[in-house]
Each structure stands twice: as C-alpha cells, then as structure tokens.
Amino acid sequence: MQAQMQRRRIVDNVVRVLLTIAAFVSILVVILIFYFTFSEAKEALQEIGLMEFLTGTVWRPTREAYGIMAMIAGSILVTIGAIALGVPIAVGTAIFLAEVAPEWMRNIVRPAIELLAGIPSVIYGLFGMVVLTKLVAKIPAPGNTGYGLLTASIVLSVMIGPTITNIAEDAIRAVPRGYKEGALALGNTHWQAIVGVILPGARSGIVAAIILGIGRAIGETMAMIMVIGNSIAMPSAATAFPLSIFLSRARTLTGNIAVEIAYATGVHRSAIFATGVVLFVMIMLINSSARFLLRERTW
C-alpha cells in the first residue's frame, strides 16, 4: 500500500513539474516574440521618435514619413463597428442557448456557431468582396465604393460572434441556478429573471467575452485587407452625418504589416516591426483586461 502511494506521489510530482515547465515555456515564447519584435523596431523608434511614429498621420516610406495614427484609427473604428454590430447578436444568442432554446434546437444552433468559428478568414473576405461590397455601395454617399469600414465591420462582427457567444454562454451557465429559482419564486417572469438576475450575475463574464472579442477583432488581417479598401488616410465622414465615417476606406495595423513587410527594407522594415510592437501591446492590454474581469467574478 505504501509503495503504491509512493508511486502515485512520484507520478504527481513528475506531472506537476512537466506542467510547470509547459507554463514557463509559454511565457518564455511570449517574451521572446516581444523581444525579437522590439529589437527589430528599435532602429525606427530611434530614428523617427515614438511620439512622431504614434501621432503622425502620414505613412509614405518613399518620403521617409512613418506615422501610424491613420492605421490606429482604422483599427479602432473597425473594431468599434464590429462590436456594435456583433455584440447584441452574440450575447442574444448566448442567452438563447443558455436559457431559452429547447435541447433539440440547441443541438442545431451550437454546431452552427462552432462552424462559423472554423471558417478561414479568407472565406469571410471573399464573401465580403462579392456580396457585402455591392450592398454597401448602394448607400448614397460621395466616394462610396462599398469597400470601407462598414463592410469590414460587418465581416468582423460575424467573425468575432462565436468567440463572444461561447464565453458569454459559459458565464450565464455559471450563475447558480438558485438565483433564477429565487427570482421565479418571487413572482418574476422568465424574462424578468434573465434580465434582472442572471445577466447581472454574469456581467463580468460577458464583459470579458466582449473584451476577448475586441482582441480577436484587432488582430484580424486577411479579411480586413480584402474589404476595407487599404487607404492610408485618416477616416473622415463622407456626408454631414457623423456615422458616414464608416463608409470611408482605411487600413488597419495588421493590414499594414501584411501588405508591406514583403518588400520593406531599412527603416521602413523596422517601422513595420514597430507597428507590430504597438499591436502587440494593444492586444496584451486587452487580454489583461479580460483576465482582470474574469478574476472579479463574485459568485
């Protein structure tokens, strides 16, 4: 008996060591990626200057102008558009799956959502190019070709939907059933229990899901290149209506890296890596925010 327990302890210790090594390797990989990217970006940051690089609105490598503010604006605007379009549908779907749908319908909807998560981004881009651009081009506005922030936001909202839906559904299911039963026992309807008890209880998990969706949106590349128009200019409203800014063409940080890295040399190449550093920091901040919110759960 003692020999058997001794073997179990040895196995447990070995597994613990292996898992610890795996965790540290993951951390080391992230540190090495950041170190490599930053080391390649140092030349540009020293020659251009951090503030000029971040706040400059002109990106013209042939004229030694390296400002990424237009691309930061493009990334932020397309992400805001995707969140505005995708979050209500994704959270509504999560509520439907967790609280409303019968088992047979849940078995149909959930695999469909998982299938959306597995479709390559280039397929979404092709759909946006062939279908959505023609629909968006029908909106009457000066210079509207269908390619721009609105089309990119629609495509991106579909792409981030499965991520938000899955995490939000888990957060809703994690709320103790006693909360809902207590609300129903006090005379609330099913919908009142969902809105007044379950969603507030799952709030931090839902917010974390949205933040992870934001991280997914900012990091998307191929589909954005295909539908956003790739114009290196500050997005501006096409009409007096402020939201017409989403009809303008733009370029994202990820798109800038993918489009120009193949032929960039010298300071231009280093500036591309500096763009990667900015993107890396943005995504790290977003993911850290999600981790903080997940730790703040109180149930």
CA 57/CA 232 separation, integer angstroms: 9
| pLDDT value at residue 295 | 65
| pLDDT value at residue 1 | 63
- Return the DSSP state at 142: T
* Helix ranges (DSSP H) in the chain: 2-48, 50-55, 69-95, 103-118, 121-127, 133-136, 149-174, 177-185, 190-193, 199-201, 203-219, 222-227, 253-260, 266-295
| pLDDT value at residue 297 | 52
Select from 128, 183, 117 the least CA-distant residue to 150.
Answer: 128
| pLDDT value at residue 298 | 46
Query: How many C-beta atoms surround the C-beta of residue 244 within 10 A?
Result: 17
- Kind plus residue range of the DSSP H or E element containing 60: strand 59-60
| pLDDT value at residue 299 | 44
pTM beyond 0.75: yes
Burial of residue 188, with CB atoms counted within 10 A of its CB: 0-12 exposed, 13-18 middle, 19 or more buried: middle
Select from 225, 203, 207, 170 the least CA-distant residue to 286.
Answer: 207
Query: What tokens appear for 243 in the block?
Result: 């939201």
Q: CA distances (Å), 185 to each of 99, 178, 179, 192, in order?
A: 17, 10, 10, 12
CA 282/CA 233 separation, integer angstroms: 21
CA angle 147, 280, 228 (to 5 degrees): 0
For domain 47-295, the question of CATH label 3.90.550.10 is answered with no
pLDDT by position in tens, the chain (length 299): 677 778 888 888 889 999 999 999 999 998 999 899 999 998 888 888 888 899 888 898 888 889 999 999 999 999 999 999 999 999 999 999 988 888 888 888 888 888 888 888 899 999 999 999 999 988 888 888 889 999 999 999 999 999 999 999 999 988 888 888 888 888 888 888 888 889 888 888 888 888 888 888 888 888 889 999 888 888 888 777 778 888 889 999 999 998 888 888 889 999 999 999 999 888 888 877 767 766 655 44
| pLDDT value at residue 160 | 92
| pLDDT value at residue 129 | 92
Contact yes or no for 250/235 (Cβ under 8 A): yes
